[in-house]
Chains A and B, each alone.
Chain A
Amino acid sequence: MSDAPLKTPFPQRAHAALGDAHLQEALTIATTKFIGLRKESFAGFPAGEALRDRARAIKEATLQKLDAHLERLADNVERLGGHVHWAATGDEARDIILRLCRDKGVRMAVKSKSMATEEIELNEALEAAGVKPVETDLGEYIIQLAHEKPSHIIAPAIHKTKGQVADLFSKELGGRFEADPEVLTAVARKELRQKFLEADMGITGANFAVAETGTIVLVTNEGNGRMVTSLPRIHVAVMGMEKVIPTMTDLMVFLSILARSATGQKLSSYTTLVRGPRQPGEVEGPEELHLILMDNGRTRQIAGTLREALYCLRCGACLNVCPVYRQIGGHAYGYTYPGPIGILLTAMLKGTHAVKDLAHASSLCGACKDVCPVRIDIPRMLVELREHVDRERIAPLGERMVFGLARRAMASPGLFRLGARLGRLAQRPFVRNGRLTSLPLFFGQWTRTRDLPPVAARTFSERWKDLDRP
């Protein structure tokens, strides 16, 4: 896994995205549609608000006894004939899978959509080890053929047009395909059906895992999650440890709000509850089931700033409503998880350093918190992250100097008055129509995207002094 900073800094990535007219249009259409679907779904569901409160409480209660729930989950999975692996890091999770591939002679693995495996960059590792990974979610399949990264948690290929997909399929699969979603979907069905039947291993994530029954829960719309857990001889599920929930009753609470938040459906087409490998008498199902419980930076946050981010269900609702995401899309964020929650998860997985710019990629408008099915207070944590970035002195030098000066001036009336006077003089050449629209040096960073009101001819405290008071 590359922990090196990305080559292009975030402001440049964001700038490039803003200049991409096609991306802008695709983002607007997709996010607007998702927002509408979600809204409509909750509008016709009066119990929804109370269920969101319950879901939030379940997540918190589970975290408060996380060790016990994980033990119970592991015991039950093993009792049912599954194997449980404990991975402290992403590297370790990958090594466990690679070792399984080696030991079991795996040559091809089919995958259903999983952010956890994206998080550990599993596909690259499998390829390097001579195992062919095949993404089977249609969006992920397109992305894989194009050698790109997903741009949205639940709609990975929203940045591609049907024309681009048709060209891609024609080039990669051989043939000439019409730019019609129906035709292209049929092409993928045929291509991937064969892969499902041939693959040695199926790799999934887990939306939930029920501790009391040892059940791994997968939610999909296409049915690929079912294929991957039914046809290959080995099933490997990679799961962030915070996905454990206590009981089936709890599961029903989450199911009733998850799809509504993600796509506006009452339930996704398929919710698959997997309990162990093939059982006696069954004609199908894997011979082996492996559950990998992954930490990868999560434990640190149990008592950390980002604790609440461990509630996240990965529904993507906060992406759709975020004014920043809606403008720049998922790629510009630069890491596995985009959008408001993605900034927090990136900080969790990669450390504060990775989000020194991203921590500011939010207007703190609070729309993300409003739509989050478990009401995660994302804006509060973003503010705390900014504080960390500042305290650890990893913010850009210019920014730190400006804010350092501002802080000093604000704390001392004398300096503040002096600053106002100097500002009035210094700003003269730059005031246009009563606004500061273009400043020199690194001050220009601010005025590049917004105006600044000039220092008033007379400040409030000067006017206050002259005021006639009884």
Chain B
Amino acid sequence: MTTRADFLGGIRREMAKTRGLFEARTAARPSDAGEAFEVVKRQMAERWPQALTRFQEEFERIAGVFHRVRRLDGVPGVIRRIADEREARRILSWHPGALGLDLRESLGRQGLSVTLAPDDDPDAEARRLHRDEAARAEIGVTGVDWALAETGTLVLVSGRGRPRSTSLLPATHVAVFDRGRLLESLEQVGAMLEALHADPSRSMSGAVINFITGPSRTADIELTLTRGVHGPKEVHAIFVEAP
């Protein structure tokens, strides 16, 4: 069995033989991740309207469906319409603590079945139950950590009350965000990720960060674009105007 020491020793022996390498550097990163984070925040506090326009354009280009509501209490109405049009009844939602909104109160009373993700420390039985619910759900409702204008991408960090499969298993994914989530470029996303990892207090609880750029797609049969192969067939983004 190869040990770490064997493996790295072999690499070092070969590295010692290399000659005449050109000088190369990795990408220049902010010297202070926390400061870079604040700079991006300040930039976006001014530039979010342009970013929103670009986000909508790019998101629609990749077959995303964009909605806009004045206040958070307008969100359930949009979800209701999406559910009605698809004759969907089962909704799975991030926990209100992560989403900022309790859909049970509004949609639950209208005959839709709403399941909330747990935000405690789920035991094996709770995890199994949640998975069955997720597999049955027709619509998954999540928040958004960053909405990336350049590519129309939704970035979601998993964690307590914010399961990774809510945006994956149901055939329709609905994501809710506001102006504070908008970013312009992948470079800015990089700055945010550097900050997230540099500062333990900002560190997330979950193991996965997903960049979602439109619905699940494939072109593996005769290069014909087909949506919804494993993940959602449709992705909706609801922008809430009120900050």
Chain A positions within 8 Å of B, measured between CB atoms, are 29-30, 33, 54, 56-58, 60-62, 64, 66-67, 70-71, 74, 80, 84, 86-88, 92, 136-139, 142, 155-158, 160-162, 165, 181-182, 184-186, 188-189, 192-193, 196-197, 212-213, 221-224, 226-227, 229-231, 241, 245-253, 255-256, 263, 265-285, 293, 295, 299-300, 302-304, 307
List chain A residues, Cβ under 8 A from B194. 247-249
Verify if B96 is at the interface (C-beta below 8 Å from A): no
Beyond A60-B24, A74-B4, A282-B159, 9 additional contacts (C-beta under 8 Å) are A56-B24, A57-B24, A61-B26, A192-B230, A224-B229, A226-B164, A247-B26, A283-B126, A302-B15
**Contacts A155-B219, A155-B220, A303-B14; A188 near B186 (Cβ below 8 A):** no
List chain A residues, Cβ under 8 A from B221. 138, 142, 157, 160, 162, 165, 181, 184-185
Measured CB to CB, the nearest residue on chain B to A276 is B207
23 A-B contact pairs sorted by A residue (CB < 8 Å): A64-B18, A67-B12, A84-B4, A88-B2, A88-B7, A181-B222, A188-B229, A197-B131, A221-B216, A222-B230, A230-B164, A247-B29, A249-B27, A250-B26, A252-B186, A252-B189, A252-B190, A269-B215, A269-B231, A282-B158, A282-B207, A285-B164, A303-B15
A279 and B231 contacting across the interface, CB-CB below 8 Å: no
A193 and B230 contacting across the interface, CB-CB below 8 Å: yes
List chain A residues, Cβ under 8 A from B165. 230-231, 284
Of B44-52, B82-90, B117-125, the one touching chain A: B117-125
B14 and A223 contacting across the interface, CB-CB below 8 Å: no
Measured CB to CB, the nearest residue on chain A to B208 is A274
A136 and B127 contacting across the interface, CB-CB below 8 Å: no
**Contacts A70-B11, A156-B220, A249-B194; A269 near B127 (Cβ below 8 A):** no
4 closest pairs, A vs B, by CB? A223-B231, A281-B160, A139-B220, A252-B190
* Residue in contact with A62 in the complex, picked from B26, B119, B168, B189, CB distance below 8 Å: B26
- Chain B interface mostly: loop
List chain B residues, Cβ under 8 A from A230. 164-165, 168, 208
Measured CB to CB, the nearest residue on chain B to A29 is B223
Q: Which of A137, A185, A268 has the most CB of B within 10 A?
A: A185
B151 and A266 contacting across the interface, CB-CB below 8 Å: yes
B220 and A269 contacting across the interface, CB-CB below 8 Å: no
Task: Tell me the smallest distance from the CB of A35 to a CB of chain B, in Å.
Answer: 13
List chain A residues, Cβ under 8 A from B220. 137-139, 142, 155-157
CA distance A57 to B27 in the complex (A): 8
Verify if B226 is at the interface (C-beta below 8 Å from A): yes
B11 and A66 contacting across the interface, CB-CB below 8 Å: yes
A273 and B210 contacting across the interface, CB-CB below 8 Å: yes
Verify if B200 is at the interface (C-beta below 8 Å from A): no
Verify if B214 is at the interface (C-beta below 8 Å from A): yes
Task: Tell me the smallest distance from the CB of B135 to a CB of chain A, in Å.
Answer: 6
Verify if B243 is at the interface (C-beta below 8 Å from A): no
List chain A residues, Cβ under 8 A from B189. 252
CA distance A60 to B30 in the complex (A): 21
Q: Which of B26, B205, B206 has the most CB of A within 10 A?
A: B26
Please provide the chain B residues from 211 to 243 with a CB less than 8 Å away from any CB of chain A in the complex: 211-224, 226, 228-232
A283 and B150 contacting across the interface, CB-CB below 8 Å: no
B27 and A267 contacting across the interface, CB-CB below 8 Å: no
B214 and A284 contacting across the interface, CB-CB below 8 Å: no
B228 and A189 contacting across the interface, CB-CB below 8 Å: yes
**Residues 2-14 of chain B: 1 if any A CB is under 8 Å from the residue's CB, otherwise 0?**
1110111011101
Verify if B130 is at the interface (C-beta below 8 Å from A): yes
* Residue in contact with B24 in the complex, picked from A64, A226, A263, A282, CB distance below 8 Å: A64
* Residue in contact with B230 in the complex, picked from A71, A224, A251, A255, CB distance below 8 Å: A224
A267 and B197 contacting across the interface, CB-CB below 8 Å: no
CA distance A300 to B153 in the complex (A): 40
Task: Tell me the smallest distance from the CB of A301 to a CB of chain B, in Å.
Answer: 8
Q: Which of B164, B190, B222 has the most CB of A within 10 A?
A: B222
CA distance A245 to B25 in the complex (A): 12
Verify if B209 is at the interface (C-beta below 8 Å from A): yes
Measured CB to CB, the nearest residue on chain B to A92 is B2
List chain B residues, Cβ under 8 A from A307. 18
Q: Which of B121, B122, B226 has the most CB of A within 10 A?
A: B226
Task: Tell me the smallest distance from the CB of B227 to a CB of chain A, in Å.
Answer: 9
Task: Tell me the smallest distance from the CB of B45 to a CB of chain A, in Å.
Answer: 22
CA distance A277 to B186 in the complex (A): 26
B230 and A249 contacting across the interface, CB-CB below 8 Å: no
List chain B residues, Cβ under 8 A from A70. 7-8, 11
A279 and B159 contacting across the interface, CB-CB below 8 Å: yes
List chain A residues, Cβ under 8 A from B122. 283
Measured CB to CB, the nearest residue on chain B to A303 is B17
B205 and A67 contacting across the interface, CB-CB below 8 Å: no
Q: Which of B7, B193, B212 has the most CB of A within 10 A?
A: B7
Task: Tell me the smallest distance from the CB of B210 to a CB of chain A, in Å.
Answer: 5
**Contacts A67-B15, A269-B214; A277 near B58 (Cβ below 8 A):** no
B26 and A270 contacting across the interface, CB-CB below 8 Å: no
* Residue in contact with B217 in the complex, picked from A29, A137, A158, A221, CB distance below 8 Å: A221
List chain A residues, Cβ under 8 A from B135. 193, 197
Measured CB to CB, the nearest residue on chain A to B18 is A303
CA distance A274 to B134 in the complex (A): 20
List chain B residues, Cβ under 8 A from A265. 62, 213
**Residues 106-118 of chain B: 1 if any A CB is under 8 Å from the residue's CB, otherwise 0?**
0000000000011
CA distance A392 to B242 in the complex (A): 72
A280 and B11 contacting across the interface, CB-CB below 8 Å: no
List chain B residues, Cβ under 8 A from A280. 121, 205
B213 and A60 contacting across the interface, CB-CB below 8 Å: no
Verify if B163 is at the interface (C-beta below 8 Å from A): yes
CA distance A81 to B121 in the complex (A): 18
B29 and A249 contacting across the interface, CB-CB below 8 Å: yes
B26 and A302 contacting across the interface, CB-CB below 8 Å: no
